[in-house]
Amino acid sequence: MSQDQQPCVVGVSPWLPWPLGGWPWWTEPVPGQRLAMLRIGLGLCMLLDICLGIAPFTLDYFGKGELGDPAVFAWRFSTPRSYWSLLRGFDEDVMIYLSLATFFLTTLWLFGNSLARLLLIRHNPPVQDRSGVALALWVGSLTWYVCGLWARMFKAGQPDDLAWIVPLIGAGLCLVLLALEVLLNGRDATERVPWLALGLAFFFLVALTVFGRRFVLMKDYDQTAWWMPFFRSWQENDALLMTAMGLWIASIALMLLGCCTRLAVVLTWMLSVSFDSINSYLGNAGDTIRIILLLYLMLSPCGAAWSVDAWWKKRPGPVFVHPWPIRLLFVQMILIYFMNGLYKACGTAWLDGSSLHFVLGDVALARFSQAWLPLAPIVIRLLTWSVLAWELTFPVLVLWNWPRRFALFFGVMFHLGIWATMELGPFAPYALCMYLPLLPWERLRRRSSRAA
Amino acid sequence: MSLATPPRPQSPRQVILGLFIVGQLAFLLLSNLLGFVQWFNSTYVAEWGPLVQRVAPRFAEEKGHGWQWCEQLEKPMRTWTQLTLQDQAWSLFAPNPGTETGFPGLLLSDKADDSGRHNWTHLFDAQIGHHVLAPEPTSDVVLLSDNEPADIREFFRMGTYRVRRYEGTMYITTRRSTVKNEPGQVPEERLETPDELAQRLTRRTHKLASDYRESTLAYMKWRLKAWRQAHPDEKMPAQVILFQRSYRIHQLDEPPGWDGPFVVPILRWRPQAGQADANVVLDSYDFMQHRFVPVN
């Protein structure tokens, strides 16, 4: 293999304790196409689901005075629950605390990194691990917190000096961070000072301070001002709600194409959680699977192959990624089927074989009338028992090669069967997405290379 | 002396990612396991309680160290579940699928009525439970669910699933449930008596008018708004009644088919112009008194 064709492993290699660290299943990199296909499959399913099933009814499902009126789901956002949504507004309690927690953690991360390197510069310092993402998160969380303070101030109609003091403290911390970086550069010239990133952050926080001061001096807050809806729940304003929906669709499209992949997947995840949280009565297990898949994609280099980002970077050799997202997903898959089997084994209808008769006969769930496809009782019983047996034995079947292929094939047929006979929305497509990283998509690349 | 370079230390990012993986793995295993153990313990306490008590002292009573540890473990996992919205309750059509089904509907009536009584015939069927029969003909407007097929023997459905999920939150199980007899009595289990069923249904409609007041009211308002937009010349109804049309699915050993629909009243809302949502009082149907009663 030439130097150009050397395999390249993309992404952070996680530190894993024993026994995971010594287990090749958890540590041996896998072709990047596996994660890429999960990203593409999920993106396609989401585009169809959101564009056809949710976006046309955005105001009906999430708008004020409609099915998802903020008052209907207010219970989800009050203590002791920790649900959150960007669309509930800046001043929602849980969002205030989440932004504060993110701010403190990223402050520790940024200062910890700089200080550790500064103090240990001549004594085996830790590896450079400063991340641009941390600074963006730091500024983003502080901005959210400040907007929350402003929203509360506008709602109460009382000026609050914290509105400009907090961003001023942020700007001060930014200067301290810059000073640490300059010191570090003074002691070791190879250390680069991130002038642009820190400079932008500083001027942004100064701008927030100026705005905050101006808001405090205003004293009288015109509730009809054009910018006021921005500081209330976005559900109360149709234009803002539709903007958020548009942003969600755009982020899914970017994720599908693999363009600015990390940012696109993070945005898709945040908006998915936000929309699902403000009307939790619309979703089912399929939507939960979607959120779980997005969580893993968000933290992994899913744009390493078959993406605009990969095309831009022009990596010459085969691309590999660390296998942890696929392994966690596989464990999740095992638990989904096994737990389903366990709960079913406690019921009488699954044991006596009549369960699928009632499932298919449920006129609220069925895709078509059971009268069109009357199955003999023995067929119903065999189908019911086979589903129960497959779910209960799934964790064992996947241990060996051939039984694993059978179990996965049965699973695909099971979900296709559900999709054909039941109207459970996007449950079957999202569940089938879990199977995508298990297929050897990299062979397509090899085949096309050979053909070329 | 070895000249090999010491292994490169793990970076904080690698450690944090590793901790996330281990934590997520533990979360997946524990939340699924604990969820099942707690559900099993509370559901099958009568059958398995004595054995559970022998294996894990006081666990079946939901007390003792074991139960307390489970609850302590469950708390952070619940927070993680809610923050990341990855609910680990995997039980599709389990432990048993429903043997009946139903759709909500609205009845828009012009008649102002304070008594809460309607000119309905009350019926009880051993297999269906309580339901009512309205006199025909009537000037009332009936809005059926968009999900309810015009003919349950001839339909094909694509979409409309999300509203069906929402409607499912208002569903009431009208058929008689199995209840335990007093210890020592034979048989151990029996079906609810008509009075017991009426009490249970009354509790459920009361709950829909109190605990689920906002979502049921939002649904009724949403349907009414759509109807008024389609019929701008019609005046605001004096009463909006939420009801359920239930169907019993035949048993596997019966000829294939369904019984129904059977109409079951649930709630009543009397819309008043300009009334704030917070001041709206819903009336829940009382199956003992056969009338709507206000729920404060």
> If you average pLDDT over residues B243-249, what whole number do you get?
95
Q: Please report, for chain B, how many H helices and E strands are present, in that order.
A: 6, 10
- The ipTM (two decimal places) reads 0.93
> If you average pLDDT over residues A109-123, what whole number do you get?
81
Give phi and psi for B243, each to the nearest 5: -135, 170
Tell me how far CA of residue A287 lies from CA of A42, A275, A350, in angstroms. 11, 11, 25
DSSP-derived pairing of the beta strands A8-10 and B100-109: unpaired
pLDDT at B4 over 60: no
Q: Is it true that the peptide bond before A29 is cis, omega within 30 degrees of 0? A: no
Compute the distance between CA of residue A265 and CA of residue A253 in angstroms, rounded to an integer: 10
pLDDT at B114 over 90: no
Compute the distance between CA of residue B293 and CA of residue B296 in angstroms, rounded to an integer: 10
Tokens describing residue B194: 């008509």
Q: Which of A275, A414, A318, A335 is nearest to A34 (CA)?
A: A318
> If you average pLDDT over residues B196-211, what whole number do you get?
95
Do B258 and A343 make contact, defined as CB atoms within 8 angstroms? no
Kindly state the helix (H) or strand (E) to which residue A38 belongs, with its residue range: helix A32-48
Q: What is the pLDDT of residue B184?
A: 72
Contacts 24+ apart (CB under 8 A), A17-23: A17/B18, A17/B22, A20/B21, A20/B22, A20/B25
> Hey, is the C-beta of A376 within 8 angstroms of any chain B C-beta?
no
Do A357 and B154 make contact, defined as CB atoms within 8 angstroms? no
* Sign of the dihedral through C-alpha B142, B143, B148, B154: positive
> If you average pLDDT over residues A73-97, what whole number do you get?
94
User: What one-character-per-residue DSSP string does A368-394 give?
Assistant: B-GGGSPPPHHHHHHHHHHHHHHHHHH
Which residues of A fall within a CB distance of 8 Å from B8?
Answer: 127
Q: What is the pLDDT of residue A130?
A: 60
Do B32 and A339 make contact, defined as CB atoms within 8 angstroms? yes
Compute the distance between CA of residue A144 and CA of residue A84 in angstroms, rounded to an integer: 13
* Min Cα separation A105/chain B (Å): 12
Nearest Cβ partner for B215 among A72, A354, A359:
A72
User: How many Cβ pairs within 8 Å bridge chains A and B?
Assistant: 222
Compute the distance between CA of residue A274 and CA of residue A256 in angstroms, rounded to an integer: 20
DSSP annotation of B241 reads: E
pLDDT at A140 over 60: yes
B28, B79, B92, B167: best to mutate for the A interface, most A CBs within 10 A? B92
* Min Cα separation A283/chain B (Å): 7
pLDDT-derived band at A235, boundaries 50, 70, 90: very high
> Under DSSP, is residue A399 helix (H, G, I), strand (E, B) or coil?
coil
Compute the distance between CA of residue A26 and CA of residue A20 in angstroms, rounded to an integer: 6
> If you average pLDDT over residues B186-195, what whole number do you get?
84
> If you average pLDDT over residues B157-173, what whole number do you get?
93
Q: Are A265 and A258 in contact (CB under 8 A)?
A: no
Tokens describing residue A180: 């640490």
Average pLDDT, chain A: 92
Compute the distance between CA of residue B196 and CA of residue A54 in angstroms, rounded to an integer: 41
Nearest Cβ partner for A335 among B28, B95, B154:
B28
pLDDT at A219 over 80: no
Q: What's at A132, amino acid-wise?
A: G
Q: What is the pLDDT of residue B1?
A: 45
> Please, where are the H alpha helices in A300-354?
308-313, 324-345, 348-351
Q: How would you class A229 by CB atoms within 10 Å of its CB: exposed for 0-12, middle for 13-18, buried for 19 or more?
A: middle
Q: Are A2 and A296 in contact (CB under 8 A)?
A: no
> Under DSSP, is residue A340 helix (H, G, I), strand (E, B) or coil?
helix
Do A343 and B36 make contact, defined as CB atoms within 8 angstroms? yes
